[in-house]
Amino acid sequence: MVAEGPSYAARVSLLAAVALVGLNLRPFITGIGPLVADIGAQTGLDLKGISLLTLVPMFLMGVFAFAGPFLQSRIGARRSVIASLLVLVAGSLLRLFATTGWQMIGTAALLGLGVAVIQAVFPGIVKKQFPNHVGVVMGLYSATLMGGGALGAQAAPLIASATGDWHFGLAWMAIPAVLALLLAIYSLPRDQAARPGGVSAMALLWRPRVWLLMACFGLVNGGYSSVVAWLAPFYRDHGWSAAASGSLLAIMAVFQGLAALLLPMLARGKDLRPWLWLTLAMQAVGFAALAFLPEAAPYASAMLLGSGLGGCFSLSMIVALDHLPDPAEAGTLSALMQGGGFLITALPPWIVAALHDATGSFVTGWLLHLGAVVLVAALYWRVSPASYASAMSVPASMPRAAAG
């Protein structure tokens, strides 16, 4: 298959693969929150232990994102995605048999590894195959990623209730992973030999802009990881049922997906900072509502928070890809941003759990994320399109990428 080539059917098939792969990248995380009580009762995991079911996958998403450029040049993006989808199928099925805390953490690690590799190579695939529609296709990818989160949050408690076993509430996720695997085999373009030249990952790491993008991506997505881990338990503490709290998380994730899809379409011009600030303002209001008025308008707060988190994720990915015109180099930058970003993202669920143990409430954790949103808004002031070229220029003494 060629990039936006002559075959309409081929383009539609590839878009379907983008959507279905994205759908599989979050349900295994969002399905945990509504089932915390059942999982903890059988496995013996306390709140800090449960937080590892989010922390470990996010940590692996960070570590293995750095391997994205190597995987793309040495193994190939298509083969990497197919192998990773096989890992997702296996990790979901193994949750049928997990009865201890360590077994659950092991499946979380396996699933996180599979997602990490896909996230590392997929933006490069999008930029290469849809060079004139990066924003729209990345919006689709981000929207289905968030939509998968909504699916996991809603389906997990319903399936667990219908079967009488929380294991089935998590293991069903193998089914969409199998479908994505089959479609990826059919649709993803064949891997091509890596071309020589280009900026190496090591050279990019010398650029302060890369670290700024990592920090912004990590701090915002740290809010996401805390919300998917603790929003449902937070409202369980307020007397909500597992199904009701799962529905609230699903509503938040639905609005994440809508914002991730629509905001890149609505954003005009090269400078996306006003749109990023809009999403950060929505997050700030959402976290403030959770901290100070949790029962006043929980669904409105979830919608607003989800819109801010989803829109910011999608726009952040586009900003990273816009920094470099070459698809391979832009994919490398995206992988590095996600690598450092997800290492940051992994920590907040555990920090919020520790704050809960110390204070008896999740409120301090929500205020922590409110402060992070303010910090990111200030950092994004430096990310203007006029600065892209100078921010990503590599000194002559720095290494370029070797021939593949």
pLDDT of the residue at 217: 94
Distance CA 68, CA 75 (A): 10
Are 18 and 119 in contact by the 8 Å Cβ rule? The answer is no
Q: Of 278, 292, 299, whose CA–CA distance to 373 is shortest?
A: 278
pLDDT of the residue at 201: 65
Main-chain phi, psi angles of 193, to 5 degrees: -60, 140
Q: What's the rounded mean pLDDT across residues 232-261?
A: 88
Distance CA 133, CA 117 (A): 23
Cα angle: 133, vertex 137, 138; to 5 degrees: 110
Question: How far, in Å, are 154, 200, 207, 376, 395 from residue 204 at the CA level?
Answer: 40, 6, 5, 21, 10
Domains of the chain: 9-392 (1.20.1250.20)
- pLDDT, tens digit (0-9, with 9 covering 90-100), for 347-392: 898 999 999 999 999 999 999 999 999 999 999 999 999 998 888 8
Q: Name beta bridge partners: 400.
A: 199
68 pLDDT band, cuts 50/70/90, is low
At 394, which helix (H) or strand (E)?
Answer: none
pLDDT of the residue at 200: 61
pLDDT of the residue at 286: 96
Distance CA 305, CA 277 (A): 13
Single-letter amino acid, residue 359: T
Its pTM stands at 0.77
90 pLDDT band, cuts 50/70/90, is very high
Distance CA 357, CA 299 (A): 26
3-state secondary structure at position 32: coil
Tokens of 297: 């308008």
The pLDDT > 70 percentage for the chain reads 92
Residues in the chain: 404
Whether residue 32 has pLDDT greater than 80: yes
Whether residue 93 has pLDDT greater than 90: yes
Q: What's the rounded mean pLDDT across residues 113-119?
A: 90
Looking up tokens 């013996």 gives: 44
Q: Of 320, 260, 308, 313, whose CA–CA distance to 280 is shortest?
A: 308
- pLDDT, tens digit (0-9, with 9 covering 90-100), for 271-304: 999 999 999 999 999 999 999 999 999 999 999 9
Are 28 and 91 in contact by the 8 Å Cβ rule? The answer is yes
Q: Of 56, 146, 138, whose CA–CA distance to 347 is shortest?
A: 56
